[in-house]
Structure 1
Amino acid sequence: MSQTISAILDSQTSLVQAAAEALPHQFSQCTHALGHIRQAVYLCLTCAVPRGICAACSIACHTDHEQLELFPKRAFRCDCPTAALAHLCALHRTPEPENTRNAYGQNFRGAFCRCGRAYDAARERETMIQCLTCEDWFHESCLSLRERPLSRASTPEAGVPAQEVDDAASEASSNDLPPPLIRADNYDALICAACVRSIPVVRRYAGTPGALMVVRDVPGGPWSVIGREAESGANVEVETVEARKGLDTGVGEKRARSPTKGESDAPNAKRARVSPEASSSPACLAPPVNSLAQQIFDKSLSKMDGAATSSGEEDVCGEGDVFLTEGFRDRWCQCSSCLLSFETYPCLLEEEETYEPPEDPDSGLSLEELGMRALLRLPRERALDGIRAFNQMRDELMSHLRPFAQEGKEVTESDIRAFFEERMAAARGGVGESS
């Protein structure tokens, strides 16, 4: 193997730039002192106890350990300096008690999604999507967005940087699969079915405009999406349950404002009118419920309770996951009843801040610049000794390479290795003679 000097320098420069982009922050401080914050969390697979460590400790304390990135987790405190881990923290040297307030879901056992499969970045073909509220990760196939790939072999995009795969949405990892029913750029956040069932106001919005759901009419039938937002002021055809079943109800096929499939079509005149004088709280402005969506939740709750479903119920199927479109926080009803439902989930009302380590001012510097900074931090005599040693090595290397230039020979990697091995052997011999 042989390379030109310019190729080696270009390669070195690109490596320095890639390192600066991948690690642009300082990792010199454990976040334990910051308390319970939303931050990137890593699971150390080498340490026997399933606990989470911060980004700084993942680099400074567990460098040689096998790790799994869990991505941001809210209200999480780094476990590295606590008694839960036998591995000593190199950044926070004061031993701390275990973090009893941390929540350790199935991700801390290496399991993800409602299917509970382990995640292998080298073999996983599917894009995974994080739930906004529980922060677990779900496969697209488990969300009924696409069929599950038949093979779990390495993806064709294995050589693509991770950030490019993530930013390119689910289509970039489709691996010759058809596009998903809901593209990543068509929604802003996912709330998994289990979380939807536990948040009454989100369950009420499910399937209404801006709260997309994937459903199908019968088991084994094609999946479709309900809750797509109609263009403002346009006459849009409405496909009702009766229309899908071929029943003639005499109801018109077009309306000025189209509800989504299954949405209650009760006229506005039948809504209860709340006078501002009669109540200090504003009237509830949540949209009429989507009947298809509610049937899904009723069936799932019946299964959880062990109750048999009525034979007269619709055969609509689906998990109940909700995909919220952009601006969903501005569309929530602000009445006291709806706001009460958000108390346990403030992330639904306001976007959370995620902690990031401070930027590293040296991350974009070249090796030469970093070397000069290191020399400036040394005492004067030691800095001068370092400069003299560098100059001596440079002169010896030039002398070693001069015959190649004179004879027109190509310098190979083995030639460079031979030079440094000779220097190391001479250094060892010198140490032996002086002793």
Structure 2
Amino acid sequence: MAETLTDFIASQEDLVQEASLALPHQFSECTYSRGHIRQAVYLCKTCPEPRGLCAACSVACHTDHEQLELFPKRHFRCDCPTTTLAQPCALRPKLEEPNSANSYGQNFTGVFCRCGRPYDPHAERETMIQCLSCEEWFHESCCNLRERPTSREPTPEPLPQKAADENEEAAQDDARSEASSSGLPAPLITGTEYESFVCAGCVSSIPILKRYAGTPGALMIVRKDPSSAWKRLELPSLDEPVLAIDDCESSAAGTKRPRSLSPPDATEGGVSKKSRLSSPTAAAEEPSPSLCLAPPLNPVAQEVLTGKPNASVFGAGDIFLEEGFRDRWCRCASCLPQLQAHPFLLEEEETYEPPEDPDSGLSLEELGMRALERLPRDKAIEGIHAFNSMRDNLVQFLRPFAQEGKVVNEGDVKAFFETLKTSGDTDGEA
């Protein structure tokens, strides 16, 4: 198909805009000097050593290598300038000692989730969710949110929209949005109903999370026996007896916490999931030593987390924390220290991002002019002369097409630049 010069220029401008949106940052500084921070980490699969790269090194030092994005990891320092990687760091040439404080889980071997499957973005059909605590990634089916797909075939086309009944369309819109990206039914708990996910292993190892499991705002998935269907765990009835909480010495242990809003119903959808920064309230700094406001224990959730062979209910033990969970914690003298031992439970962590690129979004002409301004004066003059010469040659080349009304095709453009290249080689030899 013939393409006019205007169309070609417009397509190039679109590509520049897409690139500026995809990579709006500068990648000129390795984060090694910043120490152990929470940052996006990339695994270079070409290098034989399974180590992590910061965003800048993934672009500047390993551009031609196959990489896998591991997404944010806390307390991680870039491995690119260390002696553990044979590939030299282009941003920090000085070799540094290995980062012994970095944690290298199974993600650094290219596998994820409790099922240990490798991740292939072209074949993966399921949504994966990240644990707030260990930052491992899990398939929704491995969290019992949906049935596991029967194959790992490429993602199918989105489900066709129903145009016959607009009311039904509106009622099923949320469920369809959850399913359209994977061609699978909507999960038992949709992404809009929870803010953060914590895997069973982390729940069991963090006492404060274990005691909140299955209470309002901490949803769980369970089933009665291996042959039953998975379902959302029902919240305990308010008239059920409150179980004793051994690790809280308050005489009011297990007292239901009063709230300004009614507790969310476990069988209804929650509010939309969104990124938000939250800070500990004043109560976090001044705990009440005499009153525990933690909700009553959910006996079913505790049975699941205990993992007894003769348990009457089964589940992985994962919890799904609804939005605003950080504001609902009890901050008594017993609960607050447990939260402070895991700061991400009290305050959303800051994730480092490279500085903004001042050239992002500029047109090719503007980028060329900015590059020209950065050159020494003699080099800039040479560049201007070379550009003017190419412009004159291009005008001369295009004049016959304009006079005869012909369309310039891709072959014509390639021929023009081949002529320029041949002419340049000849001039060099002379």
Whether these two folds match at TM > 0.5 is yes
Question: What is residue 152 of structure 1 aligned with on the other side?
Answer: 152
Question: What is residue 85 of structure 2 aligned with on the other side?
Answer: 85
Question: What is residue 255 of structure 1 aligned with on the other side?
Answer: none
Question: What is residue 365 of structure 1 aligned with on the other side?
Answer: 362
Paired residues of 2:288 and 2:333 also in contact (CA < 8 A): no
Q: What are the ranges of 5 or more consecutive residues in structure 1 without an aligned counterpart? A: 159-167, 228-259, 303-308
What is the correspondence of 1:157-306 to structure 2 with a 5 Å cutoff? 171=178, 174-226=181-233, 260-261=235-236, 265-266=240-241, 272-273=251-252, 281-299=289-307, 302=308
Paired residues of 2:27 and 2:56 also in contact (CA < 8 A): yes
What is the correspondence of 1:17-28 to structure 2 with a 5 Å cutoff? 17-28=17-28
Give the whole-Å Cα distance in 2 for the aligned partners of 1:196 and 1:5: 60
- SS at the partner of 1:352? coil
Question: What is residue 375 of structure 2 aligned with on the other side?
Answer: 378
Q: Quick one: which amino acid aligns to residue 19 of structure 1?
A: A
- SS at the partner of 1:342? helix
The alpha-carbon deviation at position 378 of structure 1 amounts to 1.8
- SS at the partner of 1:40? strand
Structure 1 moving runs of 4+ over 4 Å? 261-264
Paired residues of 1:53 and 1:78 also in contact (CA < 8 A): yes
Q: 1:324 aligns with which of 315, 321, 325?
A: 321
The alpha-carbon deviation at position 172 of structure 1 amounts to 5.3
Q: Quick one: which amino acid aligns to residue 290 of structure 1?
A: N
| CA RMSD after TM alignment | 2.3
Give the whole-Å Cα distance in 2 for the aligned partners of 1:226 and 1:203: 15
The alpha-carbon deviation at position 174 of structure 1 amounts to 4.5
Paired residues of 2:221 and 2:318 also in contact (CA < 8 A): yes
Question: What is residue 244 of structure 1 aligned with on the other side?
Answer: none
What is the correspondence of 1:9-24 to structure 2 with a 5 Å cutoff? 9-24=9-24
Paired residues of 1:169 and 1:184 also in contact (CA < 8 A): no
Question: What is residue 113 of structure 1 aligned with on the other side?
Answer: 113
Paired residues of 1:30 and 1:78 also in contact (CA < 8 A): yes
Size of the alignment, in residue pairs?
377
Q: 1:353 aligns with which of 332, 350, 360?
A: 350
Q: Quick one: which amino acid aligns to residue 113 of structure 1?
A: C
Question: What is residue 72 of structure 2 aligned with on the other side?
Answer: 72
The alpha-carbon deviation at position 337 of structure 1 amounts to 2.0
Question: What is residue 132 of structure 2 aligned with on the other side?
Answer: 132
Q: 1:280 to 1:408 in 2, by over 3 A?
A: closer
Paired residues of 1:43 and 1:51 also in contact (CA < 8 A): yes
Paired residues of 1:263 and 1:290 also in contact (CA < 8 A): no
Q: Quick one: which amino acid aligns to residue 111 of structure 1?
A: V
Q: 2:392 aligns with which of 395, 412, 418?
A: 395
Q: 1:374 to 1:157 in 2, by over 3 A?
A: farther
Give the whole-Å Cα distance in 2 for the aligned partners of 1:378 and 1:174: 47
Give the whole-Å Cα distance in 2 for the aligned partners of 1:156 and 1:204: 41
Give the whole-Å Cα distance in 1 for the aligned partners of 2:200 and 2:325: 17
Q: 1:194 to 1:262 in 2, by over 3 A?
A: farther
Give the whole-Å Cα distance in 2 for the aligned partners of 1:104 and 1:264: 47
The alpha-carbon deviation at position 273 of structure 1 amounts to 4.2
Paired residues of 1:146 and 1:181 also in contact (CA < 8 A): yes
Q: 1:146 to 1:286 in 2, by over 3 A?
A: same
Q: 1:151 to 1:170 in 2, by over 3 A?
A: farther
The alpha-carbon deviation at position 78 of structure 1 amounts to 0.4
- SS at the partner of 2:73? strand
- SS at the partner of 1:142? helix
What is the correspondence of 1:405-424 to structure 2 with a 5 Å cutoff? 405-424=402-421
Identity, in percent, stands at 61
Give the whole-Å Cα distance in 2 for the aligned partners of 1:144 and 1:19: 38
Give the whole-Å Cα distance in 1 for the aligned partners of 2:339 and 2:177: 29
The alpha-carbon deviation at position 282 of structure 1 amounts to 3.3
Question: What is residue 253 of structure 1 aligned with on the other side?
Answer: none
The alpha-carbon deviation at position 220 of structure 1 amounts to 2.1
CA-to-aligned-CA distance 1:208-240 (integer Å, 9 cap, x gap): 11000011122121221126xxxxxxxxxxxxx
Paired residues of 1:39 and 1:355 also in contact (CA < 8 A): yes
Q: Quick one: which amino acid aligns to residue 197 of structure 2?
A: L
Q: Quick one: which amino acid aligns to residue 386 of structure 1?
A: G
Give the whole-Å Cα distance in 2 for the aligned partners of 1:397 and 1:382: 22
Q: 1:185 to 1:78 in 2, by over 3 A?
A: same
- SS at the partner of 1:393? helix
Give the whole-Å Cα distance in 1 for the aligned partners of 2:238 and 2:43: 43
Give the whole-Å Cα distance in 1 for the aligned partners of 2:92 and 2:176: 38
- SS at the partner of 1:405? helix
Paired residues of 1:127 and 1:139 also in contact (CA < 8 A): yes
Q: What are the ranges of 5 or more consecutive residues in structure 2 without an aligned counterpart? A: 159-174, 244-249, 254-286
Give the whole-Å Cα distance in 1 for the aligned partners of 2:176 and 2:201: 24
Give the whole-Å Cα distance in 2 for the aligned partners of 1:155 and 1:267: 47
Give the whole-Å Cα distance in 1 for the aligned partners of 2:408 and 2:92: 47
Is the radius of gyration larger for structure 1 or structure 2?
1
The alpha-carbon deviation at position 293 of structure 1 amounts to 0.7
The alpha-carbon deviation at position 427 of structure 1 amounts to 1.4
